[in-house]
Amino acid sequence: MPVTDVTKDLQARALTITAEFAAPVERVWQVYADPRQLERVWGPPSHPATVVDHSLEPGGRVHYYMTGPEGDRYYGGWRVLAVDEPHSFTFEDFFADEGFNPVAELPTSTAEFRFEPAGAGTRATFTTTYETAEALQQVLDMGMEEGATLATNQIDALLAEG
């Protein structure tokens, strides 16, 4: 499994997932740069994602929804803040309504995804920071740690396809 560490730090209001992939940084970057690849790994296996809009550039947006086993849809989005291709990107991550408008009652976070060479492969560090410890705890209670780990662990199979 690619995920090697999960750290929850309520004081820092952050969830950090570290993963290692047997592929170069440029290939791992493509998983996020290509909406068709992203939708294969963004949601956990039980909640596959459909990417509706995808602009991985500063000021860009990514809109998606995940479909649950009963057909329920869960909407979300990113506001892309910074991009250093193929090394990192930072985005505001939010829960959304059907029109991809942020839902004020649910936490918004800032996520930084970093990719660095690690031997012949890539070490990825995904850090998500929330405004309050309570917001982090809320998403942890919603299953964010398990869902993100399951989603990340799908990337190996996609990378193996070439």
**pLDDT at 83 exceeding the cut of 90:** yes
Give the residue ranges of DSSP H helices in the chain.
Answer: 25-33, 35-41, 133-141, 144-152, 155-160
Model confidence, pTM = 0.93
d(CA 148, CA 51): 17
**pLDDT at 87 exceeding the cut of 90:** yes
Question: Which pLDDT does position 97 carry in this prediction?
Answer: 98
d(CA 136, CA 161): 35
Question: Which pLDDT does position 5 carry in this prediction?
Answer: 94
What is the number of residues in the chain? 162
Region 72-84: what's the mean pLDDT?
98
- The overall average pLDDT reported for the chain is 95
Span 28-49, pLDDT tens digits? 999 999 999 999 999 999 999 9
**pLDDT at 77 exceeding the cut of 80:** yes
Question: Which pLDDT does position 6 carry in this prediction?
Answer: 95
Region 67-92: what's the mean pLDDT?
97
Domains located in the chain, CATH noted:
3-160 (3.30.530.20)
> Token digits for 33?
């740069």
pLDDT band for position 71 (50/70/90)? very high
pLDDT band for position 69 (50/70/90)? very high
